[in-house]
Structure formats: structure tokens, C-alpha cells
Structure 1
Amino acid sequence: MDVIRAHLPELAEEMLGEIQASVPEYARPGDEKYVTAVRRAVEEALRLFLTRAADGGSRPGRMTEVFRAIGKGEAYEGRPLDSLQAALRICARVAWRRLALSAETLDLSRQGLCGAGEAILVYLDEIAAAAAEGYAEAHIKVAGELELRRRRLLDLLVADPPPDPRAVEDLARAVGWPVPKTLAGVALAARTSGTGSRAGPSRTPAGRDGVTPGPSAPPDAPARPTLPPDVLSDLDRSDPYLVVPDPGGPGRTAMLDGALRGWVAVLGPPVPVHEAAQSLRLAREALGLARRGVLPSGRVVRCADHLATLIIFKDEALVRVIRRVRLAPLRALRPSQRDRIAETLLAWLQCGYNANEVAARLHVHPQTVRYRLRQATELFSDQLASPDDRFELEIALRARALSLRAAPDAGR
């Protein structure tokens, strides 16, 4: 090993040059401090190799300690382990090449040359294993710390009142999360066989958001979704949720539909970052309606598509009063007749009082529509003259139709 000891500085320089030329992660020619650190690591590796060779390989303690520390450092720096392993192989290759070129000058026998080569390979295996062990240990710790910071960022985003924007920016920078212009909360619940079906009314107490929750989730929760790294999630709480940046971006809806199979999921409205709590609150309210069957729950439900329904069900006690007052004329009818008149009258109000459009929507003959409308006009004549009365009547009819979707008998 005399050739390595005699030429250690220039050998270290040659190794450093080849590492920087071949491994992009270590190519920082303008960063003198970083280059010096890499050079010292190379020189330390050479010195440890010479010490190990002199001791006959009997004391690996210091070597293992050093390369475990190097592996940990790479994990903390966020570089892949492959880069470190590639650098170690380059060092071994350069050492072997220099030894082979000097073999004749040093009058090394073939046996001596083979022994030196074997010592280099054994050393490479041992330091690579020590570095990998340190890297794996630190990587687990780094991943855990990163996940904790992402959870903290998630909690901060949906805090009410909103946090200081600087606190959000600092924590987002620490976890590598680009702060978007808009985001949306996604409320989640495990899908059950009864979710979204026309089941009877639930007797479960109302949840925190004031909306009666649907059936409780089964013991076997759905598979954890595979989500892009910019989607923040907390799936371990009783009311799991996500925060999705740029929810209106290309492919975002399709991504959520694919990732959240097995979940009832509601995407809140897109909002600025400081309004994330409001987006999540609306998503949770809509989730309660989806689980009751008021809103469809086959795919990801978008709050933006159901704002009128959210308004109607915001105060269900008030809506029950409106229905009782405005739909009183229907009580005198048979249930089947009551349904036909209510359905036709609602479609007529929504279609701008055009009987032909009502007929096309309900798939019935225009004459049938006109007959039903004559009945409806007789029943509701005092409510159809005033715009305010017509508005309340439409609210009542909409609420009735939505309630029938969730629970046909209870809705009547």
C-alpha cells in the first residue's frame, strides 16, 4: 500500500475530479466549502483503508462509525444513496487503476497485486454497507420528521382563525411545499354499502358540523390512497381530510377520482390559502349530505356543483318551516298525485315557465304537463303572483325533491 500512502494527496484529488465529473449531485465547482468537505471525506476514506490494511482488517470500528455518519449526512442532505455508492465505486476504481499502473515500478507480483485488489473490493463492500446502514437509519428519521412537519403545515392551513401567512410560508418552505394561489379541502369518509342509498332517516346525533352523519365506517377501512406529494393528508383521524393545491388544475379531478375509490369524498370550493378552513368546513357539510344520499356520492363530489343544495340544507329547521308553509296545498292530494304535481311545478319554475321544456325534462307529453300545471295553479295561485313567494316555493320544492332522493317515505 506504499504507493497509495506516498501519493495520497494527488490520489485524493484524482478521485475528487472523477466524482465531480461522474456524479451530478457532487458537482459544485463554485462551492469551495462543499468541495473541501468532499475532499476531506475522500482523504479520510484513503487513510482508513491504509490503517485497515496495516492492521490486517482486524479493527473495523472507526471505519464503520465514519461511514455510517457519512451515510446519515447524505440522507439529511436529501441526496439519494445511489450517488454515494457511485462515488465509493469511483474511489475504488481510481485506487485500483493507480495500483495497477505502479505494479511494474513497485515490482509487485501477480499474487501481491491480486491481494491488494481483493483488499480494495472488501473495503468497498464494508464501507458501502456501513454507509447504507447509516443512510437507512437517518432516512427513517428524516421521513418521520418530514411527515410531522407536513401534518403541522396541514393543521396550520385549516386553522380557524387563519394563521399568519409568514408562518405558513416558513413551514411550507421547510417541507418543500410550494404555496399555491388556490387550494381546496377534501372531506373523506369510508364508503359503506348504505352510503348514498335511499335509506330511511338516520337517528345518529348530529356531528360537529351540524349535519347528521351517515352510517359508521366498517372496521376494515378503505385502502390508503396514493396521492401526489403536493397533496397534504391526514387519514388517521376520525374525520380524515386532504388539502389539494390548485384544485382546478389539469387532471386534478381525475387524479382524485382514481385515488379515492373506496372513499366518499367531497372537494370543497377553491379558495385562497388563508380561507382553507372555510373550504374544508363546506366540504364536511356536503359530506354529511352525500352520506345521507342528498348529494350523489359515486365519484368525488364537488361543492361548487351543489351550492344551492348547501344553502338549502344549511338550516334544515328553517327549511322544514318553509316546506310546511309553502307546500301546505299538497297535503290534500294522494301521495302519487302529490309527487307528480310537486315535480311538475318545480320543473316549471326552473324552466322559466315553459311547458314544452318541462315536458322534455320529465319525458311526458306537453298536454300532460299543461293539465298538471292547471291543477298546480289552482292549488298555489296565491303563491305564484309574487316573486318572493315563488322564490320560497321553489326552495320548498327543491328541499322536498332532495329529501325524497335520500329517504323517499320520510321526504313526504
Structure 2
Amino acid sequence: MAEEPAGRPWADLPRELADHMRPHLDEVADDMIHEIQTRVREYDRPGDGSYSGTLRLAVERVLHYFVERVADPANEPTTCNDFFRAIGRGEAGEGRSLDAVQAAMRVGGMIAWRRMAEGAATLDVGPRTLGAVGEALMLFQDELAAAAAEGYAQAKAAVAGEMQRRRRRLLDLLFADPPAAPEAIADLAAAAHWPVPRTVAAVALGRQESRPPAFPPDILADLTRRTPSLIIPDPDGPGRAKLVDRALAGTLAVIGPTVPVAEAARSIQWARKTLGLVRRGVIEQDSGVIRSVEHMSTLILFQDEDLITSLADLRLAPLSHLRPSQQDRLAETLLAWLQSGRNANEVAMRLHVHPQTVRYRLRQLEELFGDQLLDPDLRFDLEIVLRARALLADRPDEILSSPGEAVGDTGEIVTFRRT
């Protein structure tokens, strides 16, 4: 299809039409306002003089601008479009849709076309000119509708941006340590349109390369943080666990323990620590959401890695003179023996080796550790350090790097040495 010539249909309109239209503008405005108030319920406000005045102002501006554009097709629609952008912003600010504005524009356009058609018969206007008038009227109506929609979208985006900023500030306040005052949380929650729940759970997310997930509106989210974070209200409520799992599907996500609102900082701290251990391979990452409460013993074990390293140096000293491969075999056997109630046959089944091999290794361990294996307190210490050693067995050189914020933002290097 060939493109329309520049300036059409305005350039096809006789300039003198504007002179015929001007004397009738007030009368046409009255007809349009009456019809709009009759057909569009939102504009029927008999007791609201300011609203009626705004409606009259809008109708008169539209009519005068249309006539002036007929008189001069080069007349730019900037002023009138700005006016309708302001109308769109106003509707958004009042929490209304653009349905009423668009309905009013359709009614106004219908009345304008009716009056123009009547005037065309009086002036003996030909079909080609009358068609150009109708096309110009429709294009003009489209321009104003687009301007109103643009203003509406701008206002909605501004409101959404401000609401998002409030919710991010609320997230900061909930994660504050020491906790913020309940009154401060309540005030900001009200401004952010977030009903304060009885309990919450914090979520630490791994950074995603793909499109970020969408969350239900009652979940506070800030994906711009160093560790992207969420707050889930009432996480233990009916159906909440399934809802959260669906929202976080395909995302590396760790949910902290459920706590009162005032203790949200504790929940995010545990979620971040768990996430750090997942990233290091200490806690296995499966296909689902990871919950800190299912890994509390591991979290306790790695709460102070300097301390666990020192205890390992002390309790595993008898293995220190052996080759690394020997250390690994004997440490694995000793842990299995402690976990199985010191039953050699069960150790053999756990390790998938012959019972005779297990007994040989146990004799070696008895020679190395002596009476230490008879002391329940020392056996408890050994199981602690051997569990930690087993969790870290796949890390090269047994060197642990603290994962930044996920553990404490210290950047320290902690070593868990072979004994």
C-alpha cells in the first residue's frame, strides 16, 4: 500500500472552513458537554462545579485547536497534546482508568461529526472534502487519545517507582541489626501498602543471568542488592510453601527460618550463610528451594571455621604424619565407625569395602589414637571435625574462602588443613 502524502488529510481541507466553524463553537461545545454528561456516568456530577469547569475547558480547547489546525495545517499540536497528557496523569493520580476519558472522546467526536455533516449540507461541501473532514477528525481524536495514554503511563510508572523505593526502604528497615522500632516499621509498611504480618521468612537469592522471577505482590523484593533478597510474609500459612516454591522455581534460593517480624535480620543472616555454604559445595544444591532449617547442624558446624580448624588440628593430630591418601581412608573409616555405633560390619556396608579391610583400618586407628577412642567426649569432638572434613572433601587443598556477604563480608581466608 502506498503511503499517504505528507500533511493529509489536513492539507485537503479548504482553509475557509475554519471561518464557517468559529461562530458555532460555543453551541457545539454545549452539545458535546451535554451528551458526554448524559452518556458517560463519570462525568455526570451536577454538584461539582470544578469538575464541570474542567470538562468545559477540555472541550473548548479541543474545538478551538481543531479549527485553528483546519485554518493552518502546519499548526503543531503541542499545547493540546500536553493538556491531554496532563488529563491522563490526573486520571492515574486519582486511581482511575482511562475508560471514561476515552468514552467521552468518542461521544465528543460523534457530536462534532454530526454538526460538521449538518454544516456541510448547508455549505454544499462536496463528498471529497467531507471525507477529508471526517478523516481529520478521527486522526485528531487518535492524537489526543495517545497523548492521554502517554501521560497516564508516565504517572503510573512514577507511582510504581516510588512504591518500589518505599518497599526497598522497608526491606532495609526489616533487615536492620539492631532491629528498627516497631512504630517505624509500621509507618513505612503503611506507606508501602504492605500489611505487617505476624511472621516472616527472609530469602537470599543467587544472581540470575536469565530474566528475574515474578513474585506475588505481598512479597517484598530487592533484586539489586549484593545478595538479592526477599521477605515472605506468613511463610507457614496454608498453601504458602507451594506458592513460594513455584515463584522461586529455577532460581538458586535459600529461605531462612520463620521468625517474628522484628527478627527478620536473623532470618536473612541464616539464609545468607546457607547460601554461602551452597556456593562452596558444602551444602548440596538440588533442584528445589533450599531451607536453612533443614541444614542447621551444618550451619552450626561452620559458624566459626577458625574454631573447627583448631579443633581438627588438635583431635586429628595422630594422622598428621601419614600420606594424604592414607589420611583420607582412615578419616573416612573413623567417621563411619563413629556414626554406625562402632560396628565394623555396618562400616563395611557404608563404605562398600570388605569387613576384613575395615578391621585392619580400625586396628591402625586404635594404634594411632589409643585411649582417645574410649572417651565419649573425645569421640564427639572427632565426629564434629570428621563431619566437617567430609563436607569439604571435594575442595582442592582444603582451603576455604569466606564468600563475602553470604558469611560476613569480611573477605577473610580460612584454612582447614590436612592433619
Distance across 2 between alignment mates of 1:233 and 1:400: 36
Alpha-carbon displacement from aligned partner over 1:362-406 (angstroms, at most 9, x marks no partner): 233445444434543454453344433222121121122233332
1:321 corresponds to which letter in structure 2? S
* 1:321 maps to which of 290, 306, 310: 310
Q: Judging changes above 3 Å, is the alpha-carbon distance between structure 1 residues 75 and 7 closer, same or farther for their aligned structure 2 residues?
A: closer
**Alpha-carbon distance change, 276 to 146 in structure 1, aligned in 2, over 3 angstroms:** same
The runs of 5 or more residues in structure 1 that have no matched partner are: 21-25, 191-221
Rounded Cα–Cα distance in structure 1 between residues aligned with 2:47 and 2:359: 84
How big is the shift at 1:227?
A: 3.5
Pair 1:379–1:34, CA change in 2 (3 A): farther
Residues 348 and 354 in structure 1, CA contact (< 8 A), matched pair in contact too: yes
Letter in 1 for 2:248: L
Following superposition, the deviation at residue 249 of structure 1 comes to 1.8
Equivalent residue, structure 2, for 1:202:
none
Does the residue aligned with 1:314 lie in a helix, a strand or coil? Answer: coil
Residue 385 (structure 2) aligned to one of 384, 396, 402: 396
User: What is the distance in 2 between the residues matched to 1:361 and 1:400?
Assistant: 17
Match of 1:186 among 204, 229, 234: 204
Secondary structure at the aligned position of 2:201 is classed as: strand
Pick from 257, 267, 279 the counterpart of residue 267 of structure 2: 279
Largest Rg, 1 or 2: 2
Query: What is the TM-score with the length of structure 1 in the denominator?
Result: 0.71
Which position in structure 1 is the counterpart of 2:140?
Answer: 123
- Per the TM alignment, residue 160 of structure 1 is displaced from its structure 2 partner at its CA by 0.8
Cα 1:47–1:375 change in 2 (3 A) is: same
Equivalent of residue 176 in structure 2, options 159, 164, 169: 159
What is the CA–CA distance in structure 2 between the aligned matches of 1:10 and 1:389, rounded to whole Å?
Answer: 94
Change (3 A) 1:8 1:257: closer
2:63 paired with 1:50: yes
Per-residue deviation, 1:13: 1.6
Quick check: 1:96–1:117 contact (8 Å CA) kept in 2? no
SS of the residue 2:241 aligns to: coil
Show the counterpart of 1:196.
none
Give, in whole Å, the separation in 2 of the partners of 1:33 and 1:390: 88
Query: Residues 104 and 129 of structure 1: is their aligned pair in 2 closer, same or farther, counting only changes over 3 Å?
Result: closer
Measured after TM superposition, the shift of residue 250 of structure 1 is: 0.8
Aligned to 1:7, what secondary structure does the other structure show? helix
| Unaligned residue ranges in structure 2 (runs of 5+) | 1-23, 400-416
Shift of 1:161: 1.1
Letter in 2 for 1:76: G
Distance 2:49 2:157 in 1: 28
Task: Indicate conservation of the 8 Å contact 1:146/1:175, yes or no.
Answer: yes
Does the CA-based 8 Å contact 2:88-2:149 persist in structure 1? yes
Partners of 1:316 and 1:322 lie apart in 2 by 10
Aligned residues: 361
Distance 1:400-1:104 versus aligned 2 partners, 3 A rule: closer
> Does the Cα contact within 8 Å between 1:185 and 1:276 map onto a contact in 2?
no
- C-alpha distance in structure 1 between counterparts of 2:201 and 2:54, whole Å: 44
Match of 2:413 in 1: none
- CA–CA distance in structure 2, aligned partners of residues 396 and 141 of structure 1: 55
Distance in 1 (CA, whole Å) between partners of 2:266 and 2:272 is: 10
Distance verdict in 2 for CA 1:225–1:99, change over 3 Å? closer
Match of 1:342 in 2: 331
For residues 382 and 376 of structure 2, what CA distance do their matches in structure 1 show? 10
Name 1:249's counterpart in structure 2: 241
**1:8–1:43 contact (8 Å) kept in structure 2:** no
Amino acid of the structure 1 residue aligned with 2:244? R
User: Secondary structure of 2:213's partner?
Assistant: coil
- The structural deviation recorded for 1:186 is 0.5
Distance 1:279 1:236 in 2: 19
> How has the CA–CA distance of structure 1 residues 370 and 236 changed in structure 2, closer, same or farther, with 3 Å as cutoff?
same
Q: Does structure 1 conserve the Cα–Cα contact (< 8 Å) formed by 2:257 and 2:292? A: yes
1:145 to 162, 171, 186: 162
Q: Which residue of 2 aligns with 1:214?
A: none
Amino acid at match of 2:260: P
Q: 1:113 to 1:391 in 2, by over 3 A?
A: same
Say if 1:77 and 1:107 are closer, same or farther in 2 by CA, change over 3 A.
closer
Question: Which amino acid in 1 is paired with 2:140?
Answer: Y
- The offset of 1:102, in angstroms, is 7.4
Give the AA of the match of 2:212: P
AA matched with 1:46: V
Hey, what's the Cα distance between the residues in 2 that align with 1:106 and 1:324?
102
Among 369, 383, 404, the alignment partner of 2:372 is 383
Deviation at 1:275, TM superposition (A): 1.7
Cα deviations by residue, 1:201-225 (Å, 9 ceiling, x for unpaired): xxxxxxxxxxxxxxxxxxxxx4562
SS of match in other structure, 1:141: helix
Q: How far does residue 251 in structure 1 lie from its aligned partner after superposition?
A: 4.5
% same residue:
47
Deviation at 1:77, TM superposition (A): 4.4
In structure 1, C-alpha distance between the alignment counterparts of 2:379 and 2:324, rounded to whole Å: 23
Q: TM-score, normalised by structure 2?
A: 0.70
Distance 2:294 2:369 in 1: 30
Task: Provide, for residues 70-111 of structure 1, a one-character-per-residue CA deviation record: whole Å limited to 9, x for no partner.
Answer: 1222343455xxx42x44442243235556777898894675
Query: Does the 8 Å CA contact 1:172/1:179 hold for their aligned counterparts?
Result: yes
2:107 matched to which residue of 1? 94
| 1:226 and 2:213 are equivalent in the alignment | yes
Paired residue for 2:6? Answer: none
TM-superposed CA distance for 1:292, in Å, is 3.9
